[in-house]
Homo-oligomer: A and B are copies of this chain.
Amino acid sequence: MKYGVAAFPSKELQDLANSYRKRYDPHYELITPHITLKEPFEADGTEIKEVVEEMAKIAKRQKPFKLHATRVSSFSPVTNTLYFKVEPNEELLALHEDLHSDFFGGMPDYSFVPHITIAQKLSDSEHSDIFGQLKMAGIDHEETIDRIHLLYKLEDGSWTVYDTFRLTGAE
C-alpha cells in the first residue's frame, strides 16, 4: 500500500489555496491543501507498524514549526506547477530530515522545497498567464503547525488519513 506524510495548514490557508486549486489543480479532489513532508512510499502491514512507531518517536523529538508562506512560485521549467513557497526554517528542516533518516532509506536525491501546490499540469501558455496573475496576488501568511499526518492512497488516487502525530518536542 502507498503511504505519505503531510501537514495540513489552517482552514484559512486551505480555503485560500483551494480558491486557486479548484480551477488550476486536477488533484484538487484527491487531497485537501497540504505540505508534503515525505513523498509516497510503499509499505506492507508489518512495515507500516514500524513506521507508525518511528513517527511517534519523531513527533516527540520534533517541535511545532512555523509555516510562513511568502510568495507564489513555480517549479517551471521542470514542471508547470505553481505553489505557495513556504520558507524553510530550523524546525521544518529538522522534521523533514528526521522523516528521511536511515530507517526511512535516507534523504531524497533532490533538495526539499517546502510548498503548498495551488496549480499543476498546466500548459505552457496557461502556466505563463496564471503565474503572472497569482504572482501579482501574492501571499504572506504565517501560522504554526503542530501536527503531521500519515496517509494512505486509495485506488482512485485520493488520500485517507491513517494517523495523526502531534509535534511536541518533549524529548
Main secondary structure of the interface of A (DSSP, over half): mixed
| A4-18 with Cβ < 8 A to chain B | 8, 11, 14-15, 18
Q: How many residues of A contact B (CB 8 A)?
A: 23
| Stoichiometry, copies per complex | 2
Residues 143-163 of A, flagged 1 when their CB comes within 8 A of B and 0 if not, give 000010100101110111111
> 21 A-B residue contacts at CB 8 Å?
A1-B11, A8-B160, A8-B161, A11-B152, A11-B155, A11-B160, A14-B154, A15-B154, A15-B156, A18-B155, A18-B156, A18-B158, A22-B156, A28-B29, A32-B159, A149-B164, A161-B161, A161-B164, A162-B164, A163-B164, A164-B164
Residue of B nearest to A9 (CB): B160
